Amino acid sequence: MTSRNIGLAAPVVCALLAFAGLFLQNRRMDQVSAELTTVQGEAAKAAEKRKAAEAAQSDLRYAASDSSSAEDLRFMDNLRKQAQARGLEITSIGASLIGKLERPDQSPADMKMLDGVQEVATTVTLVGPYLGLRGFLQDVTAHNRLCNIKSLRWERTAVGSEMSVTLARYIKAASGTPK
Amino acid sequence: MRPKDRPLLGIEIHEGELRLAVVSESETSTQVHAAGHCKLPDGALRQGTVVDTGSVAVALKRLIVTHGLGDYKDAVIGIPAGGTVVRNLQVPPAPKEELAGIVAGEVEHYSIVSETGSHAFLRVHAPPKSNMELVGVVVAGAEANLIASLAEVAAKADLNIVAMEPIEFALCRTALASLGPEPTAIVITVTQTTTNLTFFRRGKLWAYRQLETGASALALKTRPAEPTALASEDPPLDPAAVLALSKELRRTLDYLGRNYPEDAKDATLHLATNEPSMLGLANMLSGYVERGVRLHIPGDSIVASPAARSSLESSQAVRYSAAIGLALRSHRVASEIAPPLDLFAAERSVNKAGVQKQRTAISIGMAVLVLLVGAVGMMIYERDISAKRRIVDALRGQIAVIQLSTSEALKERAGDIDQYRLLRSEGSPVVPLLDYLTNSLPPQTGLTSLTIGAGRLTRISGESVTEDGVMAVLRPLQSVPVIQGPRLDSMKVDTEKNGYTFTIVGTLVGMDQVRLPGPGAPLQ
């Protein structure tokens, strides 16, 4: 009887060992599955967050655009179209690169923020009705890309108004370009 | 192990009959519960060996069922007289535990049974005759084929073999069971083929002798034509054979008288037989040896249950003597005087070892199988866990990349916002100024020019018909947030136009002081 019990004990002990091993593996599997579900949720949230960030980025106002010859042409073309839309006539236009922005009164943090940014000034003279000139200025300054009015001279003439305005826009210096 | 008080089946396979008895023993009583016999199939037993185990087993099972003994499974099987070899041996004295090995060596040396046969022995307690200090043993042996055939019968009859014992010794026990403790007696057991003379002195085996004269030799071969009144009760015996046997008995008695004069003189003579034809032998021997010989009939000396009483009351009850003696294996007195033999012990231990080996192998096999199944299961789990963990790691990597890029995008966006705010502060709020001016112009007042120069210094020039008109332009400007410190720089009378020309100066605030217009302006 005792030897029979001992004989049964070996498979029973092995079965218990096997069961214990499988039980522990099953618990590990449950843990990994739960971990996977959590991580999948985290991945989905991260992707959504990035998507939202990208979506917000596309609609963002910005100060400096990448430097390129196309940028200059595009800016001039936009000015012309906006003037035309307001019934204005551009009598003269000229641009000059002011270069690196240096403000002695600005903090080092602000200076760091402006590192690599260059200002381009464009002086444009327009002739036309007052409301057209006012609308032109409104269009230029309300654009997503920052465009500052640096100086302005407006005069009433016998036939309408003449306005000479200096507009400043900003570009990011291309790599290799001295800042 | 079998409980001692559980009834035992004693089974004797006789040449012509199958006999069984069920005996229970307790501390205080011995009782025969059942006794029965049936005819043995013809030719089933040949020279002491069962040749047709199947039919014997069937007959045995039927006999058991007929007597309602199906619940009894523990059986002592009797080894037929013709199948047993009994020898007296002298062996060197040795401790009890070493004696078995010495006897086994002697059995092999004298080829009492073949190498595969079984044997058992009883110690003879008489002092050795010579000074060589040898001790006597009575060895009983049987061949392996006989033991195997009896085991096969038991297995087929679904019985558990407690022991296998030569019936000579079982008959002796039947007689001893009715003698008191420590008897001094000569027990004569007559089987079909042998007569055995066993001398017990004060409850110890003192001498043993086997004669090759059995019931088949002692019985009269042909019955008398006209039986006498006496002969009608007792089967006829061959006087010449009985005389020869009595001579041998007297010779033994003389021998015992010479060697143990006091004890041999007091010894009583007892006859036990399993042959109903030997009922008259006790009286005949008494006459020849001039000493009383008591015939032991089981019903006279052992209590019988009501069910067994009818079988044991007649004189024919001697046919159960061997079966009852086998079942009396644990008799408290008889087993002390003549310890029971077991010629199946070696076979049982071999069988047990075989069964144990088989069980061990099955056990190990099952254990290995279970472990293998467990290991395979664990490997499958491990594989799946590893695969999922790889996915988790990859996803974590992706999340890190996404979070980094998102963080960089947000950081860049924050930088752009700060940059926008900083640079916007350099712009001039011209449009709000124009809107304030045009909305506050009183009647008969107009603007002629507007100049914004360095440092956002602003000059507003205009004309008005009245002085109040000029003040009406200046006063609201002083509360306009986009211009700081507006003041009248000059006011002149213009006679040509019949009015006043004026110039107002001030400093415009930066664009950062002005709210961004319209939706989609994240910097507000």
pLDDT digits 0-9 by tens, A7-22: 778 888 889 999 999 9
Chain A residues touching residue B385 (CB < 8 angstroms): 25, 28-29, 32
Closest partner residue to B427 among A19, A113, A148, by Cβ? Answer: A148
Greater pLDDT, B432 or B234: B432
Element (DSSP H or E) covering residue B522: none
- Residue A72 makes CB contacts below 8 A (sequence gap 6+) with A95, A120
Distances in Å between the Cα of B410 and the Cα atoms of A52, A62, B221, B404 are 10, 14, 127, 10
pLDDT of B517 higher than 80 = no
Angle, nearest 10°, between helix axes A130-142 and A69-85? 140
Q: Would an 8 Å CB–CB cutoff place A55 in contact with chain B?
A: no
What's the average model confidence in pLDDT over B429-449? 91
pLDDT at A179: 40
- Cβ neighbours of A170 in B, within 8 Å: 423
Mean pLDDT of B451-472: 92
Q: What is the pLDDT of residue B377?
A: 93
Q: How far is B409 from chain A (nearest CA, A)?
A: 7
Q: Taking the mean position of all CA atoms in its chain, how far away is CA A61?
A: 8
The answer on pLDDT for B47 being more than 60 is yes
Asked whether the predicted pLDDT for residue B521 surpasses 60, the reply is: no
From A44's Cα to the closest Cα of chain B, the distance in A is 9
CA Rg value for chain A: 35
Question: What would the pLDDT profile of A14-66 be if each residue is shown by its tens digit?
Answer: 899 999 999 999 999 999 999 999 999 999 999 998 888 877 766 678 888 88
User: pLDDT tens digits, residue range B498-516?
Assistant: 899 999 999 999 988 887 7
Min Cα distance B99 → chain A (Å) is 29
Instruction: pLDDT band for B523, please (50, 70, 90 cuts).
Output: very low
Averaged pLDDT for residues A100-110: 74
Indicate yes or no: CB of A150 within 8 angstroms of CB of B370: no
- Measure the CA–CA gap between B459 and A154, rounded to whole angstroms: 10
Distance from CA of B506 to the nearest CA of A (A): 14
Mean pLDDT throughout B224-241? 62
User: Which residues in B lie closer than 8 A to residue A113 (C-beta atoms)?
Assistant: 415, 418-419, 422
pLDDT of residue B229 exceeding 90, the answer is: no
| Chain A residues touching B382 at Cβ < 8 A | 25
CB B389 within 8 A of CB A34: no
pLDDT-based confidence at residue B324 (cuts at 50, 70, 90):
very high
Residues in chain B: 524
- Range of weakest confidence among B45-49, B201-205, B372-376: B45-49
Q: What is the pLDDT of residues B234-256, one digit of tens each?
A: 568 898 999 999 999 999 999 98
Q: Nearest CA to CA, how far is A68 from chain B (Å)?
A: 19
Mean per-residue pLDDT over chain B, rounded: 87
Please, is B214 exposed, middle or buried when counting C-beta atoms within 10 Å of its C-beta (0-12, 13-18, 19+)? Answer: buried
pLDDT band at B426 (very low <50, low <70, confident <90, very high): confident
User: pLDDT-based confidence at B131, cuts 50/70/90?
Assistant: low
Q: Minimal CA–CA distance to B206: which of B141, B270, B129, B281?
A: B129
In whole angstroms, what is the distance from residue B274 CA to residue B351 CA? Answer: 31
- On chain A, the residues whose CB falls within 8 A of the CB of B523 are 61
Q: What is the model's pLDDT at position B245?
A: 92
- CA A73 to chain B, closest CA, distance in angstroms equals 22
Residues A147 and A169: their CA atoms lie apart, in Å, by 5
Query: Sorting pLDDT into bands at 50, 70 and 90, what band is B77?
Result: very high
DSSP string, B61-109: HHHHHHTT-TT--EEEEEEPGGG-EEEEEEE----HHHHHHHHHHHHHH
Q: What DSSP assignment string belongs to B164-208?
A: EEEHHHHHHHHHHHTS-SS--EEEEEE-SS-EEEEEEETTEEEEE
**Could you tell me which residues come within 8 angstroms of residue B208 by beta carbon, excluding any fewer than 6 positions away?**
B86, B88, B122, B124, B138, B196, B197, B198, B199
The answer, yes or no, to whether residue B15 has pLDDT greater than 90, is no
Give the confidence band of A138 by pLDDT, cuts at 50, 70, 90.
Answer: very high
Phi, psi (rounded to 5 degrees) for A139: -65, -45
Confidence of residue B120 (pLDDT cuts 50, 70, 90): very high
ipTM of the modeled complex:
0.81
Instruction: Find the Cα–Cα–Cα–Cα dihedral B229, B230, B231, B232, rounded to 10°.
Output: 50
Which chain A residues touch B427 with a CB distance below 8 Å? 141, 146-150, 168
| DSSP letter assigned to residue A144 | S
Find chain A residues with C-beta within 8 A of B447's C-beta: 156
Joined together, the tokens standing for residue B507 give 């400093």
Confidence check: pLDDT of A157 > 50? yes
Q: Does the pLDDT of residue B291 top 70, yes or no?
A: yes
Q: What is the pLDDT of residue B138?
A: 93
Distance of CA B169 to the CA centre of its chain: 38
B445 alpha-carbon distance from chain centroid: 119
- For B389-405, what is each residue's pLDDT tens digit? 999 999 999 999 999 98
Task: Compute the radius of gyration of chain B from its Cα atoms.
Answer: 63
Report pLDDT for A95.
Answer: 78
Out of B362, B417, B419, the one facing A114 most closely (by C-beta) is: B419
Q: Which residues of B touch A106 (CB under 8 A)?
A: 422
Q: Nearest-CA distance from B486 to chain A in Å?
A: 18
Contacts of residue A16 in chain B, CB cutoff 8 Å? none
Query: What sign does the CA torsion over B355, B360, B361, B367 have?
Result: positive
Nearest-Cα distance to chain A for B42, in Å, is 41
What's the Cα-to-Cα distance from B283 to each of B248, B276, B314, rounded to whole Å?
16, 14, 18
Residue A106 has pLDDT above 80, yes or no: no
Residue B336 pLDDT: 83
> Which residues of A, range 72-131, sit inside 8 Å of B by Cβ?
101, 106, 110, 113-114, 117, 130
Query: Per-residue DSSP letters for B344-406?
Result: THHHHHHHHHHHHHHHHHHHHHHHHHHHHHHHHHHHHHHHHHHHHHHHHHHHHHHHHHHHHHH
B500, B466 contact by CB (below 8 A): yes
Q: For the purposes of burial, counting CB atoms within 10 Å of the CB of B223, is it exposed (0-12), middle (13-18) or buried (19 or more)?
A: exposed
Query: How confident is residue B64, by pLDDT bands cut at 50, 70 and 90?
Result: very high
Pair B159, B75: CB distance under 8 Å: yes
Contact B273, B281 (CB under 8 A): yes
Q: Are A11 and B391 in contact (CB < 8 Å)?
A: no
B360 and A7 in contact by Cβ < 8 A?
A: yes
A150/B contact by beta carbon, under 8 A: yes
Contact B405 A146 (CB under 8 A): no
Q: What's the Cα-to-Cα distance from B426 to each of A146, B420, B512, rounded to whole Å?
A: 11, 10, 8
CA dihedral A17, A20, A24, A29 (to 10 degrees): 100
Q: What is the pLDDT of residue B166?
A: 94
- Category of B166 on φ-ψ map: left (φ > 0), alpha (ψ -120 to 50) or beta: beta
Q: How confident is the model at residue B524 (pLDDT cuts 50, 70, 90)?
A: very low
Asked if residue A147 has pLDDT above 80, the reply is yes
CA distance B106 to B89: 8
Chain centroid to Cα A16, Å, comes to 62
Model confidence band, residue B415 (pLDDT cutoffs 50, 70, 90):
confident
Cβ contact A13–B418 (<8 Å): no
Give the rounded distance of the alpha carbon of B184 from its chain centre.
50
Residue type present at position B189: T
Strands (E), B394-494: 445-452, 457-464, 483-494
- Per residue, the 3-state secondary structure of B329-360, as one string, reads CCCCCHHHHCCCCCCCHHHHHHHHHHHHHHHH
Report how far residue B461's alpha carbon sits from residue B470's, in angstroms, rounded to the nearest whole number.
10
Torsion B10-B13-B16-B17 (CA) sign: positive
Average pLDDT, integer, range B338-342 = 87
Strand order in the sheet with B185-190: B204-211, B195-201, B185-190, B268-273, B293-295
| Cα distance between residue B437 and residue B464, in whole Å | 14
**Residue A178 confidence (pLDDT) above 50:** no
The residues with which B160 forms a beta bridge, in sequence order, are: B74
Considering only alpha carbons, which residue of chain A is nearest residue B433?
A134
Contact A149 B384 (CB under 8 A): no
Confidence at A3, pLDDT banded by 50, 70, 90: low
Q: Which of A18, A49, A151 sits opposite B452 (nearest CB)?
A: A151
Read off the DSSP letter of residue B40. P
Distance CA B205, CA B86 (A): 15
pTM over 0.80: no
The pLDDT of residue B231 is above 50: no
What number is the average pLDDT over the span B445-456? 92
Q: Residues A73-84: what's their mean pLDDT?
A: 92
Q: Residue B230's pLDDT band (boundaries 50, 70, 90)? A: very low
* Cβ pair B373:A18 closer than 8 A: yes
Determine the pLDDT at residue A2: 59
The pLDDT mean for chain A works out to: 86
Closest residue in chain B to residue A134, using alpha carbons only: B431
Q: Does the pLDDT of residue B167 top 60, yes or no?
A: yes
In chain B, what percentage of residues exceed pLDDT 70?
A: 94
Question: Distance between the two ends of chain A, CA-based, in angstroms?
Answer: 96
